[in-house]
Structures are given as C-alpha cells and as structure tokens.
Structure 1
C-alpha cells in the first residue's frame, strides 16, 4: 500500500489540526458510512505521534501519515491519495486506487 498526501492536504493538516514536524496522523477504518471500496465502513483519522506496528506510511513536511497493521483489512489492495480542494469541500478527500495486492 502506498499513501500519497498532496501539498494542499499537508497544509490542511497543519492549519486545521495544528500539526508540525514530528507529529503523525493515523488512518483507519471505522464502522458506519461508506467508501468507494467498503459499504458500512468509512475512513477515519486521528492524531498519533507514536506509530507502533505500521502497515504503510509516508512522510510529508515532517508529518508521518500511516496505517497500523490492525487496519490492513480496510486498505489491502488499494493505494490511498489524500487531497484537499477548498472549492469542493472544507475537509480532505480520499481517493482509492487498486494496486493489485489483494489475496
């Protein structure tokens, strides 16, 4: 799994969550909602500066963005792009792209 965070999304995390160099964001699946790849589950995030068992990660502007091994089920087979466009939403958006890593 590859995680891509755009420049606009990185700035959103800095502005909206007050994140700076050394901070982290964990993405995970939660019950309720829908995504293009899961019915009944949605993507959530939380600040987490101390990742432990990492399934996938990337760093952008000194901030670590990652998924724990326990949430592999939600992301397996997909790469995740996190973006922000203020004309479309007040929040970050997520794009899932199949990567051929399904079992």
Structure 2
C-alpha cells in the first residue's frame, strides 16, 4: 500500500487542521462514502497520535498514516489524496 498526497492536499491539511506537533493525519476506513475500493467502505481522515505498527510517511513536515487494523482496506493499492476547490478528494489506483 501507498498513500500519495499532492502539494495542495498537504497545504490544505496544514492550513485547515492546525495539527499539533505530536499529532498526525490518520486515514481510516469508514462505512459508506463515495470511494468503494471494498464494497460498502471508503477512506476518511482524522487527527490522531501515530500508530507505530501501521503505515506512515512524512511529507513537507506533515505526517500521515494508517493504523495496522485498517491496512486490509488498502492492501496492494495506492490512495491518492488531492485537493480540488478547497475539498479533499480520494482516488484509488493499483
């Protein structure tokens, strides 16, 4: 699995969420939504403390991650996170 954030998305997260130094963006799996990689589920995000057992990356000072318990959703796919019209958008590729 891999998560790609474009520069606009990184800027949006930093500006809109004012993330404290000890926190990061956690991508998790929620029931419902528009992106259906696995039927009935889609990605979402929140601000939380990093889970050292999952997947994490840092880009331009912004850390983002997926908890180990949510890795099943992404498996061998890439989550692309973009910002369009001041709104976060997700696409999934293989």
Distance 1:22 1:83 in 2: 24
Matched-pair contact (CA < 8 Å) for 2:35–2:90: no
Relative to the length of structure 1, the TM-score reads 0.79
Equivalent pairs counted in the alignment come to 94
Unaligned runs of 5+ in 2: none
So what's the TM-score if we normalise by structure 2? Answer: 0.85
CA RMSD of aligned residues (A): 1.7
Tell me, yes or no, if structure 1 residue 59 matches structure 2 residue 55: no
CA offsets, 1:39-89, max 9 Å, x none?
A: 2112111101332311x2211121111111100111112111111122xxx
Q: Does 1:30 align with 2:26?
A: no
Change (3 A) 1:62 1:49: farther
